[in-house]
Structure 1
Amino acid sequence: MARVSLGLNQKLVICCVKERQSGVVSSSVQLSKTKKNQNVSSSRVLVLGGTGRVGGATAIALSKLSPDLQILVAGRNREKGARLVETLGENSEFVEVDIDDEKALEAALKDVDLVVHAAGPFQQTERCPVLEAAISTETAYLDVCDDTSYGFRAKSFHQKAVAANIPAITTAGIYPGVSNVMAAELVRAARSESIEPERLRFFYYTAGSGGAGPTILATSFLLLGEEVVAYNRGEVVKLKPYTGMLNIDFGKGIGKRNVYLLNLPEVRSTHENLGVPSVSARFGTAPFFWNWGMEAMTNLIPGEILRDREKVQQMVQLFDPLVRAVDGIAGQRVSMRVDLECKDGRTMVGIFSHKRLSQSVGMSTAAFALAILEGSTMPGVCRSRFPLVLKRKLSCFISVSPQY
């Protein structure tokens, strides 16, 4: 099996490598600056969770990719919002918004062209208030959801979004998001040669919290309370979270890392939409003792506590100072590896690496957002065509250059 790893700074690259008997064929996918578009430059984008790491990184990336874009940074921390607005410049402003306040949320959405929902965590929520408000105000919608239940609950609003004539893309960050694009490209490449995919495996690595702080920490704890859903030869398999450890090579700059099973939405979406019989997802972090801690939490803390958002937030407050201290040593590197095994015995691999998680998430989310603003998406919530749509709708930012 051939493997390629790319360390990145200002650019995002997906590298898909395919092993052949006669040699290796590779293709790189590069995210570049969008061409100036009058409609895009006059658009107004509201970034919910804009004072957080992911939302702030998205706002910065949007500003860099489309400098004339009007960006509204929304959150509950006015001081953080003011600092970000100062960084973004005159085409931005801060808006104080509580997503749990329905009237305030709808009021904030009335004068914008797109709302980017980055106010996680998304786990253990019963509603999709931002999507509902977007439909009510006929505002295009995008979120960075990384929860299976939330993602598929969002898709249940498809007909309402169609009726409102708005596009809505869910789970559109880095993983899931770019990882779905990687998987779709691998499957497309295999089937273009009449090779049928058999097993798809997602492997993720983030150093520490990736610099994302409390939100990703809360997400990780909440995921430990969810039973893992995977697929084996078309059958649903339910497994204990943070088990099934594998040592995976993420290539240069990252190396070999231990990864563990987690319940992630791309498993179900790629199984259903790409038609791959066996699918699973694993995640790992560093330093190694964080993985030990995650295993211990799964074994020692009752699942009902790990599924309780309030109790998890209390644990996050307890661990956050230590996590931030370790982040200063561990760094913020992130890597994704997608393996596609085919029925003829061949394996195709896609690897993505970046030195900063927040920056790569911001650039990824911004690409999806600009695709919506440029009119590359259809009304409705992405459902059955979801993973394939991601690649096609990002075509205005992505160029593919095969190298032989």
Structure 2
Amino acid sequence: MTDQVLIIGGRGRIGSSVARDITSHTQAKITITSRNSAAGIAVSDQLGPQVEFLSLDLADKEGLKQAIAQSNLVIHCAGPFHFRDTTVLQLCIEQGINYLDVSDHPSFTLKALECRAAAEAAGVTAIINTGIFPGISNSMVRQGVEQLDKPERIHLSYLVAGSGGAGVTVMRTTFLGLQKPFKAWIDGKWQEVKPYSDRETVEFPPPYGKSHVYWFDMPEAFTLPDTFPAKTVITKFGSIPDFYNHLTWIAAHWFPKPLMHNKAWIEFLAHVSHFMTDATNRFSGIGVAIRSEVNGLKDSQPASYCSTLVHENTAIASGCGTGSIAQLLLEGKLKKPGVWPVEQALPTDLFEETMQSRGIKIHQEWL
């Protein structure tokens, strides 16, 4: 029988990129959902005959339950995840359906991980934080950790050009991430860090070269310390062109806090930012770069292992990250009942195999 994949929020840039990847690498039938029927039908038509559209509101629990029941795999792409609960995940567990998501906020990750025992008992494999970052980035860290005898420090840096080819939801996510300090694992203890602080220059591969990154609240900031015995985990993010970094820094440090917690204001900033990046995409591009450096010991000597990735389209790269795991689940190559961040579920050999099949090159070197 043909596999049935349900992509919730599949009309958006990320969700449709996931759908496109799955159609390229499997024979699965895909249903994408949205509240906007006209736009959803247009996207499904663009994606081809493997894809159909279903009008669905997440508030319609009965409709959601019925859609999940007709699927072999559910992929949750309806962000931002700051405001999401685990209803979709819980319904998948109740019905024994495997689950993926592109969640990117610690609050949702913590809620999802609380469902681990229930998923394990139901035999459901649920993998969260898939995509590009978090997602592919976490597997790059695992690559590096496995090269060392004792990992001590993990430094992840992300760089996105312009809009990254993503929709306004990603802009919302950025500004929501500036609302409050967060905890980071530094020198073996949790320490409070201000968002978009500690500007650092990082050498990325061409065409980006030396670029600037800042502390940013990401779920891998706590899932990586839970997975690997490192004493420090750093997660930093930056934009191209650099003046966007300065504007984001101003929003994080100068704007009144009540304003940054106002939903209408966040929505205004998101739409203005998306309008601006639409204009600058023409010369900045919409690509992404990731740099993962793991420091520690190898043969009792200090050693550093670095992995880098560059892709010309951030949204497409995110689709590859999630789509590759969907392919492995559908083919029965990956099965791990429970709820897991990607670095705890995806073996390195399968990660490298799926990245190679998608033409995504990860450069690795000892420093």
TM-score (norm 1): 0.83
Post-superposition shift, 1:398?
5.4
1:63 maps to what in 2?
A: 23
Change (3 A) 1:402 1:213: closer
1:250 maps to what in 2?
A: 204
Contact 2:127 2:345 (C-alpha < 8 Å) held by counterparts:
no
Q: Report the aligned-residue RMSD.
A: 2.2
Post-superposition shift, 1:156?
0.4
Post-superposition shift, 1:82?
1.7
1:235 maps to what in 2?
A: 189
1:167 maps to what in 2?
A: 125
1:182 maps to what in 2?
A: 140
Output the CA distance in 1 between the equivalents of 2:209 and 2:74.
37
Q: Tell me, which stretches of 5 or more residues in structure 2 are unaligned?
A: 357-361
Match of 2:227 among 270, 273, 277: 273
Contact 1:274 1:387 (C-alpha < 8 Å) held by counterparts:
no
Contact 1:226 1:307 (C-alpha < 8 Å) held by counterparts:
no
Paired residues for 1:349-360 under 5 Å: 349-360=306-317
Change (3 A) 1:307 1:387: farther
Contact 2:159 2:238 (C-alpha < 8 Å) held by counterparts:
yes
1:20 maps to what in 2?
A: none
The alignment partner of 1:58 has SS state of helix
1:368 maps to what in 2?
A: 325
Superimposed CA distance per residue, residues 352-385 of structure 1 (whole angstroms, 9 cap, x where no aligned partner):
11011011111111001112222211221126xx
Contact 2:127 2:340 (C-alpha < 8 Å) held by counterparts:
yes
The alignment partner of 1:247 has SS state of strand
Bigger helix fraction: 2
Change (3 A) 1:234 1:48: same
Contact 2:307 2:364 (C-alpha < 8 Å) held by counterparts:
no
The alignment partner of 1:100 has SS state of coil
> How many residue pairs get matched?
356
2:359 maps to what in 1?
A: none
Output the CA distance in 2 between the equivalents of 1:402 and 1:252.
15
Output the CA distance in 2 between the equivalents of 1:315 and 1:203.
24
Matched, 1:134 2:88: no
1:296 maps to what in 2?
A: 250
Match of 2:215 among 255, 261, 268: 261
Matched, 1:100 2:59: yes
Change (3 A) 1:326 1:396: closer
Output the CA distance in 2 between the equivalents of 1:347 and 1:339.
7
The alignment partner of 1:353 has SS state of strand
Matched, 1:391 2:347: yes
Q: Tell me, which stretches of 5 or more residues in structure 1 are unaligned?
A: 1-38
Contact 1:226 1:263 (C-alpha < 8 Å) held by counterparts:
no
Superimposed CA distance per residue, residues 151-181 of structure 1 (whole angstroms, 9 cap, x where no aligned partner):
1210100111123221100101111111111
Output the CA distance in 1 between the equivalents of 2:363 and 2:166.
32
Superimposed CA distance per residue, residues 204-258 of structure 1 (whole angstroms, 9 cap, x where no aligned partner):
0000120112011001000011323222221111111101111101022221110
Contact 2:147 2:305 (C-alpha < 8 Å) held by counterparts:
no
RCO comparison, higher one (Cα < 8 Å, 6+): 1
Contact 1:202 1:337 (C-alpha < 8 Å) held by counterparts:
yes
1:16 maps to what in 2?
A: none
Superimposed CA distance per residue, residues 112-133 of structure 1 (whole angstroms, 9 cap, x where no aligned partner):
111111111112x262121122
Match of 1:82 among 4, 19, 41: 41
Letter of the 1:366 counterpart: G
Contact 2:213 2:237 (C-alpha < 8 Å) held by counterparts:
yes
Contact 1:371 1:394 (C-alpha < 8 Å) held by counterparts:
no
